[in-house]
Structure 1
């Protein structure tokens, strides 16, 4: 069979600090596509520890597509981190009980920005932080140490805190062509047969 098995936890023999992520996640509200990998300096199980404030009762999902590359220390902040901000204070009295639970927000009163979605073939550099509800488009690159607070268009390179677009990877014409191609949905045999095409310097013509 061409290529590594998509069901392998550790596709590099003898190296257990890089995993195919979908094969190690345990939370049902984290959904990961085939061949997306996570590389951690210490332990790949840190990934779920770095998905912060992800509470079942809120219902938001972290959705990651196929063939993504996620470096060590990447953190996803989910909607459970949000506090109501319309009152005099944003302090969450209600979580401490003992009479303070009467300040519990009603459904819909907490800020909610929806699911966090990472499309396909996205590279996220080490120690980047992705904020709640962000959508990162196909082929985007997130620079090391960036804090992503808003959506990232396909095939954009972003960096900084807050992250801003540094440049597009290709022309708009080429990006349209690549989005229509959707190579990540090809059969594995076709991907294997076209590795030279997929990895060579892109012809803009």
Structure 2
């Protein structure tokens, strides 16, 4: 049994979990220290409640989430089986109901368009009830606004919001983003990160580079 402190990062409550230690699906990969907070349902059920229409036995599609991400309550990852085949003359998913229609049981995945994996970078903040669609890649350091519906890739360190989500602004200028991407502080060992927290919180890239 995993001890509580490995699941819950805060002793004050159990609404937040380290996702890496509660996800069991081999087609879901989560990096170190990434958290999910859910004040409505048990956050340990993230895999069942927030990763939706995910049938990797048909699609082999994956959810990949990096390190040090913060995922807010109700954020959902909507996979390929939520789609319907747009190239068909009808959006009705006949292949799913193969018993009713006598179609090939092995062709169920023909009922939807397969757009690929969902990939979330490192140090990404996903806001309350945001929805990430299949095939989307979110860059390092990006921020996804509350109830945004993300249908396209999000560049690193970019804030997006709305339905469908569109860029609002970049968090830093190109030079700072390039320096942060080169540093990749999230790959450092925990002791170095612990020493670097004041520089990270102060937005001091020069000091952070000095810790590398």
**Structures share a fold, TM > 0.5?**
yes
SS of residue matched to 2:77: strand
The total of aligned residue pairs comes to 199
Question: Which digits, 9 at most, give the CA deviation of each residue in 1:106-142, with x for residues without a partner?
Answer: 5885421111000000000000000001000000000
Q: 1:194 & 1:86 partners in 2: Cα distance?
A: 51
Equivalent position of 2:89 in the other structure: 88
The C-alpha deviation readout for 1:25-53, integer Å capped at 9, x for no partner, is 12111100000000101310342211110
2:166 corresponds to which of 159, 164, 167:
164
Looking at structure 2, the residues matched to 31 and 144 of structure 1 have their Cα atoms a distance apart, in angstroms, of 23
Counting helix residues as a fraction of each chain, which structure ranks higher? 2
1:51-87 per-residue CA deviation (whole Å, 9 max, x = no partner) reads: 1100022110000000000000001001111222222
Change in CA separation of 1:101 and 1:181 when aligned onto 2, cut-off 3 Å? farther
Match of 1:44 in 2: 43
CA distance in 1, matches of 2:94, 2:63: 27
Q: What secondary structure is seen at the aligned counterpart in 2 of 1:8?
A: helix
TM-score (norm 2): 0.87
Q: How many angstroms apart in 1 are the aligned matches of 2:61 and 2:108?
A: 14
CA offset at residue 187 of structure 1? 1.1
CA distance in 2, matches of 1:67, 1:94: 40
Contact residue 136 and residue 154 of structure 1 kept, 8 A: yes
Aligned residues: CA RMSD: 2.1
Match of 2:101 in 1: 100
1:39-188 pair list within 5 angstroms: 39-42=37-40, 43-48=42-47, 49-57=49-57, 58-102=59-103, 106=107, 109=110, 110-188=112-190
TM-score, normalisation: structure 1: 0.90
CA 66–101 in structure 1, closer or farther in 2 if over 3 Å, else same: farther
Partners of 1:85 and 1:100 lie apart in 2 by 20
Aligned partner (choices 10, 13, 18) of residue 12 of structure 1: 10
Report the CA distance between 1:153 and its aligned residue: 0.1
SS across alignment from 1:194: helix
Q: Residue 63 of structure 1 aligns to a residue in which SS?
A: strand
Task: Report the equivalent of 2:209.
Answer: none
Unaligned runs of 5+ in 2: 207-212
Contact 1:34–1:67 (8 Å) recurs in 2: yes
Equivalents in 2 of 1:153, 1:32: separation in Å? 20
